[in-house]
């Protein structure tokens, strides 16, 4: 993988090999050119190809290079914000549509995994949002109330039930969401791209789009590999990893970059592995600088939080992870860590995704705010439906908006990184 040793960590080490691809060196004509080989782009290509449309994925690096190959692997329903906030931001029409499509998002992911035989360590046993202190208990109670009013299968668990499902007394309660689960994220996106290829889509890696020109009713895209694509439609699926000095760079400019890292232990002894998350839900807590934890199929505990593994931050975050794991799970005090990696989450001003018409027949979804797996998959499907004429723009789960740069985005990004370092420097010492 082109990102280096700290870019994809355990996921690169344990994912099945990607399907064979090659750079585009010729001139091709397709119905839809898709820029970016993550969840959104690969899902769009798969659904377009299955409907009989010709599609080509153009990925500047490798499939899953961006956030799709670096994240924790929690397949969650909904966004970070509560349903009431989402409805207030989008209004009842788009709001309920978005809540519905995201509520069913995990099922779409796990159905695709089963239908296409994607080997990605899929576990559909739910996720646990764990409460820290009284404020955390209150937050989870309100989340549960709002989701239950919408008919979602969620339940608040008390401290004893939380202890049984997490293996730690660190949390006062938890919210179990039965819709959700976990996957090996890089394996999943590789599997999506491979399924798209089998359905007839073209997938070209090491193929950066360097220029775009509208000629009549078509777009002509030039690439760094020497090839050219002619297409009626262009889907831009690069999200937070959109180049800052390239085409349609406004997608990145409207997001504040939030760094996130993961560290994985060596495979745990059987007794320890069975005492923590025995039903293998993925989990995260309610703290502002949150922690997340889950298992992979080999029995490694994957533990993560906000921060970037670079400069002084690498040692600060690594040392904190050792302390925090030992504090939450004392039986793991001396367990070594085998892998570490980090990536970037793109945060929009209201923590909700964006749909943009960047030009004539140039469309994009972006701004997944740390919830990329299920939303990216279903939004890719919706973009395919829009191109195919199966739905209209007014049927999408979010309205069309103009790209608007986030104010003070660089300062805020530095603040996230520095704040996480300061927090982890002192946290979990007692």
Q: What mean pLDDT do residues 281-309 have? A: 98
3-state class of 209 per DSSP? strand
Looking at the chain, the whole-number percentage of residues with pLDDT higher than 70 is 99
pLDDT in tens, 57-66: 999 999 999 9
Identify the pLDDT of residue 245. 81
Identify the pLDDT of residue 388. 98
pLDDT in tens, 71-126: 999 999 999 999 999 999 999 999 999 999 999 999 999 999 999 999 999 999 99
Contact call for residues 120 and 11 (beta carbons, < 8 A): no
pLDDT in tens, 246-275: 899 999 999 999 999 999 999 999 999 999
Contact call for residues 237 and 269 (beta carbons, < 8 A): no
Strands 354-359 and 55-58: unpaired
Identify the pLDDT of residue 244. 84
Contact call for residues 119 and 127 (beta carbons, < 8 A): no
Identify the pLDDT of residue 259. 98
Q: Both tokens of residue 394?
A: 């007014």
Give the list of residues 6+ apart from residue 58 with CB closer than 8 angstroms, or none. Answer: 24, 33, 34, 35, 36, 37, 204, 207, 208, 209, 221, 223, 229
Identify the pLDDT of residue 331. 94
CA–CA dist 73, 123 (Å, integer):
10
pLDDT grade for 4, boundaries at 50, 70 and 90? confident
Who has greater pLDDT, 244 or 372? 372
Identify the pLDDT of residue 57. 98
Identify the pLDDT of residue 157. 98
DSSP string, 239-270: GGGS-TTSTTTHHHHTSEEEEEEEEEEPPPPH
Closest to 10 measured CA to CA, from 92, 63, 70, 74: 70
Taking the complete model, does pTM exceed 0.85, yes or no?
A: yes
pLDDT grade for 153, boundaries at 50, 70 and 90? very high
**For residue 69, is pLDDT > 70?**
yes
**For residue 1, is pLDDT > 90?**
no
Identify the pLDDT of residue 3. 67
**For residue 383, is pLDDT > 80?**
yes
CA–CA dist 57, 44 (Å, integer):
9
Q: What mean pLDDT do residues 276-296 have? A: 98
pLDDT in tens, 401-422: 999 999 999 999 999 999 999 9
Closest to 347 measured CA to CA, from 372, 369, 371: 369
């Amino acid at each position: 993988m082109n990102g280096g040793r700290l870019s994809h960590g355990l996921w690169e080490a344990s994912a099945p090999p990607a399907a064979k691809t090659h750079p585009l060196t010729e001139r091709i004509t397709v119905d839809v050119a898709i820029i970016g080989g993550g969840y959104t782009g690969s899902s769009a290509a798969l659904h377009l190809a299955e409907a009989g449309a010709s599609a080509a994925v153009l990925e500047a690096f490798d499939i899953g290079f961006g956030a799709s190959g670096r994240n924790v692997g929690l397949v969650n329903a909904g966004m970070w914000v509560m349903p009431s906030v989402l409805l207030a931001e989008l209004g009842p029409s788009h709001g309920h549509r978005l809540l519905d499509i995201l509520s069913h998002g995990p099922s779409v992911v796990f159905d695709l995994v089963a239908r296409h035989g994607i080997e990605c360590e899929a576990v559909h046993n739910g996720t646990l949002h764990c409460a820290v202190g009284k404020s955390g208990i209150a937050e989870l109670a309100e989340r549960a109330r709002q989701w239950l009013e919408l008919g979602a299968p969620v339940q608040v668990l008390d401290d004893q039930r939380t202890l049984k499902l997490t293996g730690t007394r660190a949390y006062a309660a938890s919210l179990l969401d039965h819709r959700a689960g976990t996957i090996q994220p890089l394996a999943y996106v590789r599997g999506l791209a491979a399924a798209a290829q089998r359905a007839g889509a073209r997938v070209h890696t090491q193929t950066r789009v360097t220029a775009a020109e509208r000629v009549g009713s078509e777009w002509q895209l030039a690439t760094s590999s020497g090839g050219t694509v002619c297409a009626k439609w262009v889907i831009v699926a690069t999200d937070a990893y959109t180049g800052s000095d390239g085409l349609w760079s406004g997608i990145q400019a409207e997001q504040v970059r939030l760094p996130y890292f993961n560290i994985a232990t060596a495979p745990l002894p059987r007794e320890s592995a069975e005492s923590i998350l025995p039903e293998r839900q993925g989990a995260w807590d309610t703290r502002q600088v949150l922690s997340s934890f889950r298992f992979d199929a080999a029995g490694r505990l994957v533990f993560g939080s906000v921060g970037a593994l670079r400069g002084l931050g690498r040692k600060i975050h690594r040392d904190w992870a050792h302390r925090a794991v030992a504090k939450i799970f004392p039986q793991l005090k001396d367990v070594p860590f085998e892998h570490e990696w980090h990536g970037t989450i793109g945060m929009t001003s209201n923590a909700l995704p964006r749909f943009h018409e960047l030009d004539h027949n140039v469309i994009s979804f972006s701004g997944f705010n740390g919830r990329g797996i299920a939303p990216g998959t279903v939004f890719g499907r919706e973009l395919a439906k829009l191109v195919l004429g199966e739905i209209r723009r007014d049927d999408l789960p979010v309205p069309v908006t103009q790209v608007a740069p986030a104010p003070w985005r660089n300062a805020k990004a530095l603040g996230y990184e520095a704040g996480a370092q300061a927090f982890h420097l002192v946290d979990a010492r007692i």
